[in-house]
Structure 1
Amino acid sequence: MTAHVAVVGASLAGLRAAEQLRAAGHTGPVTVFGAEPHLPYNRPPLSKELLYAPGAATPAELHTKVAFRRRASVADVTFRLGLPVVAADPRGGRLSLGDGSSVAFDALVAATGLRPRRLELPGPLAGRHVLRTLDDCVALRGALRPEAAVVVLGAGFIGCEVAATARRLGCRVTVVEPCGGPMQRVLGTRLSEGVRRHHEAAGVEFVIGRSAARFLGDGSVTGVALDDGSTLAADAVVEAVGSVPNTEWLAGNDFLDLSDGVLCDNRLMARGAERLVAVGDIARFPNPLFDDVPRRVEHWSIPTDTAKRAAATLIAALTGAESGPDPFAPVPSFWSDQADLRFQSFGSPALADEVRVVEGDPGRPADGVLATCHRHSAHVGTVAINLPPARQRELRGAFATLPAAV
Structure 2
Amino acid sequence: MTAHIAVVGASLAGLRAAEQLRIAGHSGPITLLGEEPHLPYNRPPLSKEVLSAPGDSSPERLHQMVSFRRRPIVDDVDFRLGLPVVEADVRRGRLIVEGGAAVTFDGLVVATGLRPRRLGLPGPKTGRYVLRTLDDCIALRRVLRPGARIVVVGAGFVGCEVAATALRQGCRVTVVEPSGSPMNRVLGPSLAQAVQRHHEASGIAFVIGRAIAGYLGAATVTGVELDDGRTIAADAVVEAVGSVPNVEWLRPNLELDLSDGVLCDNLLSVVGEDRVVAVGDVARFPNPLFDDVPRRVEHWSIPTDTAKRAAVTLTAQLAGGEPNQAPFVPIPSFWSDQLDLRFQSFGSPALADEVRLDEGDLDRLQAGVLATYHRRSLHVGTVAINLPPARQRELREAFTALAAAV
- Matched ranges for 1:253-268 at <5 A: 253-268=253-268
Mapped partners of 2:19, 2:344: distance in 1: 26
Residue pair 1:290, 1:405 contacting (<8 A) in 2 also: no
* Aligned-residue offset at 1:401: 1.3
Aligned to 1:322: 322
Number of equivalences: 406
SS in structure 2 at match of 1:383:
strand
In structure 2, what residue type is equivalent to 1:273? E
SS in structure 1 at match of 2:306:
helix
1:279 and 2:271 are equivalent in the alignment: no
Residue pair 2:331, 2:403 contacting (<8 A) in 1 also: no
* Aligned-residue offset at 1:355: 1.2
1:372 and 2:372 are equivalent in the alignment: yes
Would you identify which runs of 4 or more consecutive aligned residues in structure 1 move more than 6 Å?
A: none
Mapped partners of 2:135, 2:117: distance in 1: 16
CA RMSD, Structure 1 to Structure 2 (Å): 1.0
Q: Deviations over 1:262-300 (max 9, x none)?
A: 000000000000111000000000000000000000000
Structure 1 residues 183 and 105: CA distance shift in structure 2, 3 A: same
Residue pair 2:287, 2:293 contacting (<8 A) in 1 also: yes
SS in structure 2 at match of 1:293:
coil
- Matched ranges for 1:93-132 at <5 A: 93-132=93-132
Residue pair 1:290, 1:404 contacting (<8 A) in 2 also: no
Mapped partners of 2:190, 2:213: distance in 1: 29
Aligned to 2:150: 150
Aligned to 1:16: 16
SS in structure 2 at match of 1:307:
helix
Structure 1 residues 257 and 405: CA distance shift in structure 2, 3 A: farther
SS in structure 2 at match of 1:402:
helix
Normalising by structure 2, what TM-score?
A: 0.99
Residue pair 1:151, 1:176 contacting (<8 A) in 2 also: yes
Aligned to 1:302: 302
SS in structure 1 at match of 2:188:
helix
Mapped partners of 2:239, 2:56: distance in 1: 22
Q: Deviations over 1:234-259 (max 9, x none)?
A: 00000000000000110110000000
1:191 and 2:215 are equivalent in the alignment: no
Deviates more, 1:193-202 or 1:328-337: 193-202
SS in structure 1 at match of 2:371:
strand
Deviates more, 1:178-187 or 1:29-38: 178-187
Residue pair 2:179, 2:209 contacting (<8 A) in 1 also: yes
Mapped partners of 1:21, 1:38: distance in 2: 22
Mapped partners of 1:47, 1:402: distance in 2: 32
Residue pair 2:331, 2:400 contacting (<8 A) in 1 also: yes
Aligned to 1:249: 249
* Aligned-residue offset at 1:55: 2.8
Aligned to 1:237: 237
In structure 2, what residue type is equivalent to 1:174? T
Residue pair 1:56, 1:142 contacting (<8 A) in 2 also: no
* Aligned-residue offset at 1:56: 3.3
Deviates more, 1:284-293 or 1:181-190: 181-190
Mapped partners of 1:307, 1:250: distance in 2: 20
Mapped partners of 2:76, 2:56: distance in 1: 35
In structure 1, what residue type is equivalent to 2:83? L
Residue pair 2:287, 2:330 contacting (<8 A) in 1 also: yes
* Aligned-residue offset at 1:187: 1.2
* Aligned-residue offset at 1:349: 0.7
Mapped partners of 2:107, 2:315: distance in 1: 9
Residue pair 1:36, 1:82 contacting (<8 A) in 2 also: yes
Residue pair 1:10, 1:33 contacting (<8 A) in 2 also: yes
Residue pair 1:191, 1:363 contacting (<8 A) in 2 also: no
SS in structure 1 at match of 2:194:
helix
Residue pair 2:57, 2:141 contacting (<8 A) in 1 also: no
Q: Deviations over 1:1-23 (max 9, x none)?
A: 00000000000000000000000
In structure 1, what residue type is equivalent to 2:91? R
Structure 2 residues without counterparts, runs of 5 or longer: none
Mapped partners of 1:154, 1:354: distance in 2: 24
Residue pair 1:275, 1:317 contacting (<8 A) in 2 also: yes
* Aligned-residue offset at 1:62: 0.7
SS in structure 1 at match of 2:379:
strand
SS in structure 2 at match of 1:20:
helix
Aligned to 2:28: 28
Mapped partners of 1:203, 1:47: distance in 2: 18
Q: Deviations over 1:96-150 (max 9, x none)?
A: 0102100111000000000000001000000000000111001101011111100
Mapped partners of 1:361, 1:254: distance in 2: 52
Mapped partners of 1:55, 1:140: distance in 2: 14
Structure 1 residues without counterparts, runs of 5 or longer: none
Mapped partners of 1:44, 1:329: distance in 2: 24
Mapped partners of 1:65, 1:200: distance in 2: 30
In structure 2, what residue type is equivalent to 1:146? P
In structure 2, what residue type is equivalent to 1:195? V
* Aligned-residue offset at 1:188: 1.4
Residue pair 1:288, 1:405 contacting (<8 A) in 2 also: no
Mapped partners of 1:83, 1:399: distance in 2: 40
Aligned to 1:162: 162
In structure 2, what residue type is equivalent to 1:316? A
* Aligned-residue offset at 1:57: 1.2
Q: Give me the identity figure in percent.
A: 73
Mapped partners of 1:141, 1:325: distance in 2: 47
Residue pair 1:87, 1:97 contacting (<8 A) in 2 also: yes
